[in-house]
Amino acid sequence: MLDQAAIDVLRNQPVAEQGHFVNGAFAASREGATLEVLSPIDGKPLTRIASGTAADVGVAVEGARKAFEDGRWSKTAPAHRKKVLLKLADLIEAKALELAVLGVRDNGTEINMAFKAEALSAAGTFRYYAEALDKIYGEIAPTADNVLGLVHRAPVGVVGAIVPWNFPLMIGAWKIAPALAMGNSIVLKPAESASLSLLRIAELASEAGVPDGVFNVVTGPGAVVGEALALSMDVDILVFTGSGATGRRLLEYSARSNLKRCYLELGGKSPNIVFNDTADLAKAAKVSAAGIFRNSGQVCVAGSRLLVQEDIHDDFVAAICREAEALKVGDPLDLSSQIGAVHSLTQLEADLKFVETAEAEGAERRTGGERILTETGGYYMAPTVMSGVKPGDTIARKEVFGPVLAVTAFKDEEEAIRIANGTEYGLAAGIWTSDLGRAHRMISGVRSGVIHVNTYGGSDMTVPLGGMKQSGNGHDKSLHALDKYVDLKTAWIQL
């Protein structure tokens, strides 16, 4: 159980200025530039980080390539890599509270969620891929007589990874762990506003025995560091979680450089569909509220569109509003807070603008919709429910990435599927019904990479996460994620 006194001790510790982590050591930017990090808890400066340049990226990529080619990690036995990654998982778990508090001070996620979904989740991810890596075999093909066909799985080389600010440890681990498990080297670019916990993970990886140059972190603006990573002729694949606009630019950079493979987990506008035969509507309301308002709605799979069957619409919206109003928004390092801070002032202002636009387009604000706790200096927003949202409204089509729920009524399955599929996204969805046949029809009809039935959220490492349509390509999590980090090499041997 988390202890408030221990959290308070960690929250008051100064955070030293942070450099890049390259070739096994921290280093300042080659130009000496830094960026100020503001805490969303109170809007005050927390520390400074190195503001990277293309030259910094070049040094990191060169070190990663050298480490890959000389085999200090890529050519080691799977049993060795397994041992190191298990040790790293243990170190992350031992430092879980420290990592969680550091991350919360950086990005504003409520500590109860951050401890489990960030630090402990990252430890579990490294453990999962450590246990898996020595169980991935090559193949023997059923060839003609006197021929032996072998299919080898070889590490790709240098992986460029760009991760967002909302769950940097969890999403970072989804990319770092399988890439390292398969023997690759990595250059990681965290969000400039949420780099601290990932820099600490790189330090722990070195302590666990990951060789110098194998795991590097370069911090700084995406327009500089991310672009340099994507344009590098010596990065073999690029993995990214973030916005569709940035994803498009990364594909362009791939085409302009070495045609590196790009795996993109992009945005979502996920429909959460409640039918009138739902067995427990009170539970559905509580879980659906958590599905949009946890982490202030800053979750890629958040159920941001609530589709409710017409004959239960009014009662269910009233129940959702009660759940929203009961949630305690506050200091994310206070264990009594259920919802923490919006990540930045820029994000908060964008969220509020979406509410304003929704009202102008005819939606009704049922609860929330305003900035709160302004006396703290931090960035907090009341959980917001907008009803009467039409499928073509801005708030029904665009990813808000904030604590804002758009509610739309529907008549039947056919209309629910049409509305659910009526955006450019296809990341996640939820279905609430007691009819098993209906559940399967909806699973088949709704175009989403993840579909929850009679729940929302909570899947573990055993299943993949990936999107359809403009929500991206490739998969994080599960054994399927390993496919991104290997090349298939055929050996056709005449006997």
Backbone angles phi, psi at 213, to 5 degrees: 90, -15
Q: Is 265 a catalytic residue?
A: yes
CB distance 403 to 297 below 8 Å: yes
3-state secondary structure of 160: strand
3-state secondary structure of 467: coil
H or E stretch at 148? strand 147-155
- Rounded distance, CA 259 to CA 237, Å? 9
- Rounded distance, CA 198 to CA 103, Å? 9
User: Got the DSSP string for 268-286?
Assistant: ---EEEE-TT-S-HHHHHH
Beta strands in 1-130 (DSSP E): 20-22, 25-27, 34-38, 45-50
Active-site annotation holder among 62, 118, 265, 323: 265
Beta bridge partners of 35: 49
3-state secondary structure of 203: helix
CB distance 154 to 78 below 8 Å: no
- Sign, Cα dihedral of 122, 11, 28, 45: positive
Rg over alpha carbons for the chain, rounded to the nearest Å, is 23
CB neighbour list of residue 219: distance below 8 Å, 6 or more residues apart: 18, 20, 35, 49, 50, 51, 52, 189, 190, 192, 195, 199, 225
- Rounded distance, CA 457 to CA 177, Å? 22
**Active site members:** 265
